[in-house]
Copies of this chain bind each other. A is one copy, B any other.
Amino acid sequence: MKDGPDIARIGALIGDPARANILSALMNGKALTATELAAEAGITGQTASSHLKKMIEGGLLSQNKQGRHRYFTLAGPEVGATLEALMGLAARKGHLRTRTGPKDPALRNARVCYDHLAGDIAVRIFDNLSARGFLEASSDKGGLRLSPSGSDFVSSLGIDLAALHASRRPMCRACLDWSERRNHLAGGLGAAMLTWFEKQGWVMREPDSRVVHISARGRSELFGLFPAAWPQK
């Protein structure tokens, strides 16, 4: 029973509603200040401060002091992935009676998962990439790598593959999507694709949520790039 790492510690951290709200708010990958997070969680600054301290100590968050502000982010991609997995459990079991909020359909369609794209559209893109043989299994930490043809494809988009290779971070990684219950692409390449989509003006992130909107042009461009798996409008 005493085997393995202490799961209860982090479980308890995530288990408080205020802290869970803070974590969810950070799932869009942006850095937020302590007061913003307090407002997000519906608590006062004092309590937020205590929560944030605990989560830093527990390794869930990182902080970045800038002037008199203190910015908080998730401590890393693994944290985001684990939270997404927990959401998967929460969505499926037990709390199926979660009444779906107004934003819910938009979230299911496209959202940010820490630093990459998730939701229906992200799953379709992953499907398309794998169906075309651009991804293959690997012994890397991510478990996936780009095939030669996949490398060509990504380079042809104008994404700087060399920079991605230089980074220590695993480039390709499968991340389980809580709404679709299938995989989407995470890792350095997943993050790079999201920023690239943004730069093209194909997708826009809603300021203070995980929701991602797709422009009309983005829709047609993405359809062109990933044809087979795209919804017929």
Contacts and interface: CB of A to CB of B under 8 A. Distances in A.
A199 interface: no
A225 interface: no
In the complex, the count of this chain's copies comes to 2
Contacts of A88: 5, 78, 82
A1 interface: yes
Interface in A1-56: 1-17, 19-21, 23-25, 27, 40-42
A68 interface: no
B11 A12 contact: yes
A43 to B, nearest CB: 11
Contacts of A178: 4-5
Interface stretch (A89-97, A155-163, A189-197, A216-224): A89-97
B6 A90 contact: yes
A170 to B, nearest CB: 10
A182 interface: yes
Nearest to A56: B94
A140 to B, nearest CB: 8
Interface of A: 1-17, 19-21, 23-25, 27, 40-42, 57-60, 75, 78-79, 81-83, 85-95, 98, 101, 103-104, 107, 126-127, 129-131, 133, 135-144, 174, 178, 181-183, 209-211, 229
